[in-house]
A and B are shown apart, each in its own frame.
Chain A
Amino acid sequence: MSSVQLWTYLFITLSFGLYIGIAVWSRAGSTNEFYVAGGGVHPMANGMATAADWMSAASFISMAGLIAFLGRDGTFYLMGWTGGYVLLALLLAPYLRKFGKFTVPDFIGDRYYSRTARLVAIFCAITISFVYVCGQMQGAGIVFSRFLEVDITTGVIIGMTVVFFYAVLGGMKGITYTQVAQYCVLIFAYMVPAIFISIMMTGNPVPQLGFGAELTAEYGGGYLLDRLDNISEELGFAPYTEGQRSTQDVFFITAALMFGTAGLPHVIVRFFTVPSVRSARTSAVYALIFIGLLYSTAPAVAAFAKTNLMNTVSNAPYMELPEWFYTWENTQLLTFEDKNGDGLVQYVADPALNELTVNRDIMVLANPEIAGLPDWVVALVASGALAAALSTAAGLLLVISTAVSHDLLKRSFMPQITEKQELFYARIAIFVAILIAGYFGINPPGFVAEVVAFAFGLAAASFFPAIVLGIFYKRMNRQGAVAGMLAGFAFTSFYIIYFKFISPEASVPENWWFGISPEGIGTLGTLINTTVALTVSRFSPAPPRDIQQMVEEIRLPGH
């Protein structure tokens, strides 16, 4: 067993032991504890938990890689996934906390006084969460298979068992405190290699400053970003710091990711766990600071990794490449085909001449190896990636379970069940959800990357307008909200399914509506939802008095 593997086993055993320990310590005894951790979570702890909940395998593993290959255009992930928090903090979190129930369908169902609205919300919440959770399990599988060289199935089963432990036992309470621990693990694992590499390449220990600094003499001097622009151009790629996509597309994708972020049920529900309206606001600050730490580091990691990769492999003799190249080749995530038979690696933009394909997901995972960092740092990244995947998976599974036990059974179809029974159903639901998620983790549908865009687009087009209108427009009624959600959801899913699954070959800017890619269509879905909701509500009766009173109540600050 290699030294990297030994370290990886050590870190994973320690961190998993910690998570299980927390699970046993924080068992949930009531539905209140199971759904919202008793509503007594400290804003800072909730901020960390929100950050871990939010930062998924995609943020940890894929984002820096995506930015490395998109360059300037990768911006929409950075701004979209952080800017959405401003909307969440200002438009949703305080009011939903004041409303003070357990779930997003709770709010939709009560505010729009209708079982139909509640059922539509349950359907959206479950679809969005399932789509998202499959990606997490697959992320965990990749980490296990690469670093421990166990097969993906074993990896996913280990991951499922751990999540099962703390989610089923502890519910939201267990999940919250494990997420706090997972945030610490993941941020440490992300920052350590970034700082190391920043010092190595630029002499500046702060990665956020390092990627705007000059390279050390060993790397050839000059500003890192200028260097990156130059090599990219030499190899036929577009300059790194210049955008390639149309402005309106970048605009729409950014907006869709922002609205989607603010509408994701597993993030919103975290703000139900704090004790007051004021702490909901404070907790949003903490959350964004904790998230911002990773998100401001990611573009630096992207720039370092891209420079390093091109420096190392471009025109290098294949036989003399460093060890990591061959290990990653084994996973098929890195492939080399010597087309012209000269024994050198040609990495260029022209597909006919290019001999190297790099899966963007390995940029973060392979980065420490590419930079030649010590084995323990490589292993640390593996446990960080697992923390990111498992924390998000747990949050999503909880949404699925509450949607079933609380919204579907207790509030819609079986109002007579006792709290004990409800808790029992919640645990069964989370168990079944874990099994399904695990199945998709082991047999991943080939479209995980695509479906993430789906989750955001759907959240943006369904929940975001329904909740915002419910708070800020007292006149919004049942008919308007239901029609709006259905229109937004249907339009967005049709557009994405058409361009992603039915005829992906037609997915080129010329065919897109207004030049908007499927990733950005959620923004248009949001607008359609809002327009339909406002129009329909004008032509149907105003909501009952007690509902209007409820809205006024939500708008006032609590104590």
Chain B
Amino acid sequence: MHDDHARAYWKANIRVLTTLLSIWFLISFGGGILFANFLDQFRFGGFKLGFWIAQQGSIYGFIVLIIVYVFWMDKLDSHYRQNSQSNSREGDQQ
């Protein structure tokens, strides 16, 4: 039982990582490099969008990503912990 939970937890963990790292890739390599020239046609204030993402936006994006990661993993951890506790209690009763 414990092994199953560990496996489920790891799978959920990998899902979190894939999601966040895809966004990470899109922001930095996508917005800041590959599509930057295309995005430059949009402007706000003195900034061209591609330039802004490359020199400012990506950094803010990275910070947000790690914050989301912390909260998401906290949730995952407590969910996993509760489940494994209730299971071991069931195991005791049998």
Contact = CB atoms under 8 A, between A and B. Distances in A.
Interface in B57-83: 58-60, 62-63, 65-67, 69-70, 73-74, 77, 80-81
Contacts of A213: 45-46
Contacts of A89: 66, 69
Contacts of A292: 59-60, 62-63
Contacts of A241: 40, 48, 51
Given A83-B28, A225-B47, A292-B62, A254 B33 contact: yes
B46 A223 contact: yes
A295 B69 contact: no
A223 B45 contact: yes
A203 B17 CA distance: 42
A316 interface: no
B36 A243 contact: yes
A90 B6 contact: no
B63 A289 contact: yes
Contact of A72 (B51, B66, B69, B70): B51
Interface residues of A, number: 48
Contact of B17 (A72, A75, A90): A90
Q: Which among A94, A285, A289, A295 has the greatest number of chain B C-beta atoms within 10 A?
A: A285
B24 A83 contact: yes
B25 to A, nearest CB: 9
Nearest to B51: A241
A69 B60 CA distance: 24
B55 interface: yes
A224 interface: yes
Contacts of A243: 36-37
Given A241-B51, A281-B73, A296-B59, A214 B46 contact: yes
Interface string B29-51: 10011101100100011111001
A299 interface: yes
Contact of B74 (A67, A74, A278, A295): A278
Q: Which among B24, B56, B58, B73 has the greatest number of chain A C-beta atoms within 10 A?
A: B56
A419 interface: no
A208 interface: yes
B59 A285 contact: no
Nearest to A285: B66
B54 A75 contact: yes
Interface stretch (A129-137, A401-409, A550-558): A550-558
A87 B55 CA distance: 19
Interface in A294-319: 295-296, 299
Nearest to B69: A90
Nearest to A85: B62
A515 interface: no
A329 interface: no
B9 A556 contact: yes
Given A555-B13, A556-B6, A557-B77, A86 B62 contact: yes
Nearest to B37: A243
A281 B51 contact: no
Contacts of B52: 212
Interface string A421-455: 00000000000000000000000000000000000
A79 B58 contact: yes
Nearest to B16: A90
Interface in A535-559: 552, 555-557
Nearest to A296: B59
Interface of A: 67, 72, 74-75, 78-79, 82-83, 85-87, 89-91, 94, 208-209, 211-214, 223-226, 241, 243, 247, 250-251, 254-255, 258, 278, 281-282, 284-285, 288-289, 292, 295-296, 299, 552, 555-557
7 contacts: A75-B55, A86-B21, A89-B69, A90-B17, A251-B33, A295-B59, A296-B59
Q: Which 7 A-B pairs have the closest CB atoms?
A: A223-B46, A75-B54, A299-B55, A212-B47, A212-B46, A212-B45, A557-B77
Given A247-B34, A299-B55, 14 more contacts: A67-B55, A78-B55, A79-B28, A79-B33, A94-B73, A212-B45, A278-B73, A278-B77, A281-B69, A285-B70, A289-B63, A296-B59, A556-B6, A556-B9
